[in-house]
A and B are shown apart, each in its own frame.
Chain A
């Protein structure tokens, strides 16, 4: 199937783009050879291949992403009301956080939310993906139906819907009323349960990780299962011995990304609580607090400082995740 002459290779040699890019690291030739030294012959274009593949990404990083990112670092050391020029205040914003009760409260709310909803959502997504992957009839239909709630996303109708389902006179309480449970609280509007109902809302949109799991399951060669079946492996054994190890990069991906996303959850709390994080601050997500400070109180410097504290927390957790992955994630390329 492959040809000797490879058009894209020539294309790169002509264009020669990328190696003049200032931000890129120095040629990684020696380094690369040390790692994969067994390769007999590496052409010029092969050695610089990564510049080609990464060129758009580098351009995006340096032209679009990094500027605003660094600007927000700078802003976190200033007093900035969005209209006047930022005023340097050093560590003042970070110092202020120590005495800010709502900051601690927002952290607490967010940690509870992430800690409960991410494992629940991933477990549900994986379970359904595995069930649906077993060649069940109507797979496409089920998958579409289960994905539907995720399509609604930030639709303005979601807030109305959620209140209609979980409100004091909502559908859930109505159904519970039929089985003899009365005088129930409003699940979205009682400070004791509001966060829980947002967790339900998040778990309910498990469609995205489910689709990713399904795609991952489809990458697993069927021959492995056939071989295992011949060896007499049962369903559970096949799941733990084949599915989980081969799916582990995808499980890991979902875990890392859902964690990052959950820490940044904003939209659901925003639309369901009307942007306030209520009732009584019970759904004050960290990002909602950042938003309130930045756009509500015109205190963008403080908002930026809050954001960078979040980045540090999420980065630390992600780093731990990556470290731990060495012990349980199996890649086909190893």
Chain B
């Protein structure tokens, strides 16, 4: 008894200094990670002509005009592009959450003929660089009459074509102890019961990860959106931002930076809101 409390005290005092050191290290590291955002933020308040002649954080004078200019540039409110992006993102998240987790459950927990083959094929589909499939895809969606709609950006997600997330969830589900399923099965649960009542609730971190990544990657995905959407009213945020940037003439960099900051807000907001679910795994739901 006495010895154990001595060791406990010793270990506590030993661990306090490293803890401060750890924070100092983490903060220092954080500054390195934050620099780009701060720099972009500073850039968004500089006059366009100062961005390259005064490339550091500081300029002689600052302005908020970039935000007003960028928001209304091209005669269309930037808000419209944000709404468009949100539509695509919402569809993509719904699709990935439902379709990918269902497929992942089958690959992780069910036995069926050819499972390994299908799984390998699924992984194979993400190995092909997009630049050689985009033209056939474009032709396919053109034949379906889906061009200039959000269907080519949403329907594939509803059909679990994003193998990354299927694989991600397979790995998470497989790391859940199988005793849980067996217990539920003894209680009379079928696969659907197990999936909806056991697996999904316990996979919250994986689902949150999927939602967050889908949001970010869809929000930033540029090439598909550029090719499938040609009507400026349908443009999403990354496509709209790129319409400003032209190497052959003057690019309004100030407004570009300002709108880049604006377009970061929803992503970062979603990340902040979603990240608390990342920590609600077995560890915190009180599983025993």
B110 at the interface (CB under 8 A from A): yes
Contact with A along B93-127 (1 / 0, CB 8 A): 00000110011011011111110001001111111
Q: A71-B136, A294-B132 are in contact. Are A25 and B113 (CB under 8 A)?
A: yes
Q: Is the CB of B123 within 8 A of A318?
A: yes
- Chain A nearest CB from B288 CB (Å) reads 7
- Cβ contacts under 8 Å, B245 to chain A: 156
- Cβ contacts under 8 Å, B196 to chain A: 8
- Cβ contacts under 8 Å, B70 to chain A: none
Within 8 A of B (CB), among A134-168: 136-140, 142-158, 160-161, 164-165
Which of A95-103, A181-189, A208-216, A236-244 forms part of the interface with chain B?
Answer: A208-216
Q: Is the CB of A72 within 8 A of B242?
A: no
Q: Residue of B at shortest CB range from A156?
A: B245
Q: Is the CB of B131 within 8 A of A32?
A: no
A333 at the interface (CB under 8 A from B): yes
Q: Residue of A at shortest CB range from B197?
A: A2
Within 8 A of B (CB), among A257-308: 257, 260, 263-264, 266, 274, 287, 290-291, 294-295, 300, 303-304, 307-308
- Chain B nearest CB from A69 CB (Å) reads 6
Q: A72-B133, A208-B213 are in contact. Are A53 and B102 (CB under 8 A)?
A: yes
Q: Is the CB of A56 within 8 A of B213?
A: no
Which of A114-122, A190-198, A218-226 forms part of the interface with chain B?
Answer: A218-226
Q: Is the CB of B110 within 8 A of A53?
A: yes
Q: Is the CB of A164 within 8 A of B55?
A: yes
Interface size class of B (residues with CB under 8 A): 35 or more
- Cβ contacts under 8 Å, B242 to chain A: 156
Q: A64-B156, A72-B136, A257-B167 are in contact. Are A223 and B288 (CB under 8 A)?
A: yes
A16 at the interface (CB under 8 A from B): no
Contact of B177 among A139, A157, A287, A333 (CB under 8 A): A333
Q: Is the CB of A264 within 8 A of B159?
A: no
Q: Is the CB of A218 within 8 A of B30?
A: no
Q: Is the CB of B264 within 8 A of A303?
A: no
Q: Residue of B at shortest CB range from A55?
A: B102
Q: A9-B193, A57-B122, A221-B283 are in contact. Are A75 and B187 (CB under 8 A)?
A: no
List 9 additional A-B contacts (Cβ < 8 Å) besides A63-B159, A156-B242, A211-B275: A25-B118, A49-B190, A52-B192, A149-B33, A151-B268, A164-B39, A290-B129, A294-B132, A332-B178
List residues of chain B with CB under 8 Å of any chain A CB: 19, 22-23, 26, 29-30, 33-37, 39-40, 43, 51, 55-56, 98-99, 102-103, 105-106, 108-114, 118, 121-133, 135-137, 139-140, 155-156, 158-161, 164, 166-168, 171-172, 174-178, 184-185, 187-193, 195-197, 202, 205-206, 208-209, 212-213, 216-217, 220, 222, 238, 241-242, 245, 247, 253, 256-257, 260, 264, 267-268, 271-272, 275-276, 278-284, 287-288
List residues of chain A with CB under 8 Å of any chain B CB: 1-4, 6-9, 11-12, 25-28, 31-32, 35-36, 39, 43, 45-46, 49-50, 52-57, 59-61, 63-65, 67-69, 71-72, 75, 82, 131-132, 136-140, 142-158, 160-161, 164-165, 169, 171, 204, 208, 211-212, 214-216, 218-223, 246, 249-250, 252-253, 256-257, 260, 263-264, 266, 274, 287, 290-291, 294-295, 300, 303-304, 307-308, 310-311, 314-315, 318, 331-334
